[in-house]
Amino acid sequence: MGRYYNGDIEGKFWFALQSSDAPTRFGGWTELSFSFNEDDIDGVKEELKRIEDKIPMDKIKKYFETNTGWNEEKILDQGFTVANLSDYADHEIGTRILKCIEQNQECNFTGQL
């Protein structure tokens, strides 16, 4: 069981970590329907950069190269926190949003609560 988003991009919100309204961080509007267009590209890129500057992206990427799950003890031992992981999950969806806008000039999707 999980909460999915679908439309121009599709995926699954991270269990117990990522809010269903995570895309609002990148400037989309909510009702759990998210819409982005070319006017939003700069804002999405800026938020992605803020996340990249805030968290240890390389450590988290490396962790998930050999792990499919996580718990707080494991990630703290690797040098990052649950908050870092939440930002990382948001970065993943933000990257998908950006790619979708660049390819289609817009990006529209819905997410489950």
Question: How many angstroms separate the CA atoms of 50 and 5, rounded?
Answer: 23
pLDDT band per the 50, 70, 90 thresholds, residue 49: very high
| Domain spans, the chain | 40-108
What is the rounded average pLDDT for all residues in the chain? 91
Contact 70, 63 (CB under 8 A): yes
Question: How many angstroms separate the CA atoms of 72 and 38, rounded?
Answer: 38
Q: What angle do CA 49, 19, 53 make, to 5 degrees?
A: 15
Q: pLDDT over 70 for what percent of the chain?
A: 95
- Quote the pTM value: 0.76
Secondary structure of residue 21 in the 3-state scheme? coil
